[in-house]
Amino acid sequence: MNTPSSVTPQEAADEATDAPVQQPLPLAFINGEALIEKPQDLFIPPDALEVILETFEGPLDLLLYLIRKQKFDITTLPVATVTRQYMEYVEVMTALKLELAAEYLLMAAILAEIKSRLLLPKRSADDDEEDDPRAELIRRLKEYELVKQAAEDLDAQPRMERDIFAVQVDTSDQVAPLRIEPDVSLQDIVLAFTSAMKRAEAFEHHVIEREALSTRERMSLILTTLEHAHYTPLESLFTVDEGRSGVVVSFLAILELVKENLICCVQAGPFARIHVKLQSNEED
Amino acid sequence: MKKINFEQLKQLVEATIFVSDGPVSRQRLRETVLAEFKVADKTLSKALNELTLDYRPRGIQLVEVASGYRFQSLDSLSPFLSRLWQESAPRYSRAMLETLALIAYRQPITRGEIEQVRGVAVSSNIIKTLTERDWIKTVGHKEVPGRPALYATTRAFLDYFSLPSLDALPSATDFADVMREGSNPDPSTGSQPSDAATSEQPKSMTVND
Amino acid sequence: MKKINFEQLKQLVEATIFVSDGPVSRQRLRETVLAEFKVADKTLSKALNELTLDYRPRGIQLVEVASGYRFQSLDSLSPFLSRLWQESAPRYSRAMLETLALIAYRQPITRGEIEQVRGVAVSSNIIKTLTERDWIKTVGHKEVPGRPALYATTRAFLDYFSLPSLDALPSATDFADVMREGSNPDPSTGSQPSDAATSEQPKSMTVND
């Protein structure tokens, strides 16, 4: 992430500027207690102990804040300065008796490690650039900064309940839910019929023929026709355009209905018109 | 009190009625969204009237009901909108199918006659469901004690199964033939014993939709 | 299949979107209210487009979000409309928003991977709340020791934030670029901003459900 040429002078400059105010680096702090000096710019109300952990979303967030505050460029992370400031904040946390989150301590260790590696003499001038111990931290900082930005963008995105409201309109009147009836296949019916008949051994002699079916259909039809009429001329139950077979079917249906005592035929005298009516009408 | 122009007022009133749970009264408008605006009664009436007119040609209408204004769908669309809340009825039971089959093949038939064949009682629910589906109807009453209803199938029944007439209903023997020709050979022929166990029915006979 | 004229189609589609509980997809329109009508895709698109334009000047808008079309109030009206409800809109913590953003941009992702990027532990509460809001869901398990859950965002998340797809997330492109850099660091180009122009999106960003 860094060019080696820029690293060394920058690093040198850091060390130089920091030199007068450089605190004795509290490596000792990680093991226990060390210096206590509050950073002047961070206001911490004495009764709000958790303010730091609430203000910062973690060590990366705190580091970013320190870098931004000093207007440093992440890509040329001035480890010495940032490490010193970071330690100061962490010190404040311990001073306020905060239970230090492990993540903050881990970051302190990482910073200390990077700093110590930078202080070691370089083996050669054109050392492998990937050897920059800061590279991984810089990558993480850049990545985190993006996540932070993304979270802010997401928060700014118009959202339901806050910026936009769902529209709800009622139907004009009670709309009854449409009931989807189950599918039935013809074969279901034939199978059902076959199995019902098979069980009813007593009915075995009733072989259902095509002819019988059309007769039975005609029986239903005639019953429907006669339902509300008191007397219907017999001939009106026959339609010429059905042809001979139609007349036969109707005739068989009428005979069957008479046999089953569902209708009755009335003839006033010999050769007079025959009238039919529902059997039930007589008793009404 | 702030000012609001007429177009903004219309938008605000419109959106308020839309996002509210129930009807919105003028008073509620004034107490909530219009609280900080100076709006004359006449202006509010004009906005509501214009909104009502704006929606006249649309799929929803602005109407005034007892407790205020609300949007509702156009009356004439109700039959179509009911499809949004469609629910699937459970599959028909064997009892239901047998009852239907007996009515189809042996009509006109009484409930007692169906029970005689099936050997068990036919629940009223079955008759009710089949009647509601408009597949069976009462065509008369048998003149025996109790005058039981005579059931027959309807035109809608034939239409559903794409049958020109009841005559076209396959006979039990036709069906047996198809079964033999199909993927389910009669075990008695013994030609393909390995297939005998299959109980799958021939697809060609299915008449759905 | 019945026919329906264009004006009726528009009214029916409009009313359907209005009376429905959530966003309505074209598919849902076809499966419900349009089931019995013959409507070309082009005609349906035209109806939806015209409706969108019809509502442009109004207090509510027709918008397309991830799971379909819905009407929603104009967001400029929210300061006034929010007066309709006693409680204010829920606020979300930075921790929750960062976690949600990471899941949105880098899905599928494990909790451990989120913690790695954020540098702090992710509380179970955050995952629980996001799951309960139906914004994230477990889409699988990573085949590493412990088989941690892989999280992804849902359609409900996109709907809530008024997004038609993940691509529409703000700064999605920048994110994808840096994430790629991160997984495959290239020190020679790493700090050059010109690199950010690449717009290729990682495949892992598609919503699958």
Closest-CA residue of chain B to C73: B15
**Mutation target vs A (from B160, B167, B186; most A CBs, 10 A cutoff):** B167
The model's confidence at residue C186, banded by pLDDT at 50, 70 and 90, is: very low
C129, C178 in Cβ contact below 8 A? no
How far is CA A103 from each of CA A57, A90, A115, rounded to the nearest angstrom? 11, 11, 18
- Neighbors of chain A with 3 or more C-beta pairs under 8 Å: B, C
Q: Is A81 in contact with A70 (CB distance < 8 Å)? A: yes
B20 and C84: CB-CB below 8 Å? Answer: yes
Helix, strand, coil distribution of chain B in percent, nearest 5: 50, 15, 35
Verdict on whether the full-model pTM lies above 0.90: no
Does B61 contact chain C (CB < 8 Å)? no
Name the residue among B16, B3, B4, B1 with its Cα closest to residue B48.
B16
CB A276 within 8 A of CB A229: no
Residue A118 pLDDT class (50, 70, 90 cuts): confident
Q: Is A100 on the interface with C (CB under 8 A)?
A: no
Confidence of residue C39 (pLDDT cuts 50, 70, 90): very high
Q: Is the peptide bond before C108 cis (omega within 30 degrees of 0)?
A: yes
pLDDT tens digit sequence for C67-98:
999 999 998 999 999 889 888 888 899 999 99
The residue of chain C with its CA nearest to that of B75 is C15
Closest CA to A69 of A43, A93, A41: A41
pLDDT top residue among C54 and A204? C54
Which residues does chain B have within 8 Å of residue A171's beta carbon, measured at their own beta carbons? Answer: 72-73, 78, 81
Long-range CB contacts (< 8 A, 24+ apart) of A102-110? Answer: A103/A58, A103/A59, A103/C119, A103/C120, A103/C121, A104/A58, A104/A59, A104/A62, A105/A30, A106/A59, A107/A59, A107/A60, A107/A62, A107/A63, A107/C119, A108/A29, A108/A30, A109/A30, A110/A137
C81 to chain A nearest CA, in Å?
8
Do residue A152 and residue C18 have CB atoms under 8 angstroms apart? no
Q: Which one of A181-195, C55-69, C77-91, C156-170 scores highest in mean pLDDT?
A: C55-69
Q: Where do runs of H (alpha helix) occur along chain C?
A: 6-19, 26-31, 41-55, 78-81, 94-106, 111-118, 124-132, 155-160, 172-183
Give the long-range contacts of residues C130-134, CB within 8 A, separation 24 or more. C130/C96, C130/C99, C130/C100, C130/C103, C133/C160
* Minimal-distance CA residue of chain B relative to A199: B118
- Residue with the larger pLDDT of the pair C22 and C207: C22
Per-residue pLDDT, A28 = 30
CB of B65 within 8 Å of any CB in chain C? Answer: no
Q: In whole angstroms, how large is the CA radius of gyration of chain A?
A: 49
> Comparing A53-57, B147-151, C15-19, C126-130, which segment has the lowest mean pLDDT?
A53-57
Find residue B136's DSSP bridge partners: B153
Please name the member of C15, C170, C178 whose beta carbon is closest to the beta carbon of A143: C178
Strands B109-110 and C60-65: unpaired
| Predicted confidence (pLDDT) at residue B202 exceeds the cutoff of 70 | no
Chain mean pLDDT for chain A: 72
Tell me whether residues B16 and C84 touch, CB distance under 8 A.
yes
A61·C104 Cβ contact <8 A: no
Q: Is C60 on the interface with B (CB under 8 A)?
A: yes
Tokens in use for A181? 């009836």
Please list the residues that pair with C138 across neighbouring strands. C151
Whole-angstrom Cα distance, residue A271 to residue A5?
129
Partner A contacted by C118 (CB < 8 A): yes
pLDDT at C73: 95
Which range (A41-45, B57-61, B119-123) has the least confidence?
A41-45
pLDDT over 60 at B203, yes or no: no
| Res. C160 pLDDT band, cuts 50 70 90 | very high
* pLDDT above 70 (res B195): no
A25-28, long-range: CB < 8 A, 24+ apart: A25/A83, A25/A84, A25/A87, A25/A112, A25/A115, A26/A87, A26/A91, A27/A112
CB within 8 Å: A195 and B98: yes
CB C151 within 8 A of CB C139: yes
The closest CB to that of C95, out of A57, A160, A166, belongs to A57
* Confidence label for A222 from pLDDT (cuts 50, 70 and 90): confident
Can you tell me the ipTM of this complex?
0.69
Bridge partners (DSSP) listed for residue B64 = B69
Contact A169 B71 (CB under 8 A): yes
pLDDT at position B207 is 35
B141 pLDDT tier (thresholds 50, 70, 90): confident
Which of C18, C74, C80 is closest, CB to CB, to B60? C18
Return the residue of B nearest to A206 by Cα. Answer: B106
In this prediction, residue B205 has a pLDDT band, given cuts at 50, 70 and 90, of very low
- Give the nearest chain A residue to C80 (CA atoms): A163
CB A139 within 8 A of CB A1: yes
pLDDT at A172 over 50: yes
Task: Choose the closest CB to C105 out of A107, A150, A157.
Answer: A150
Cross-chain residue pair B117–A187, CB shorter than 8 Å: no
What is the rounded average pLDDT of the residues C4-21? 95
Half-sphere exposure of C166 (CA within 13 A, CB side): 25
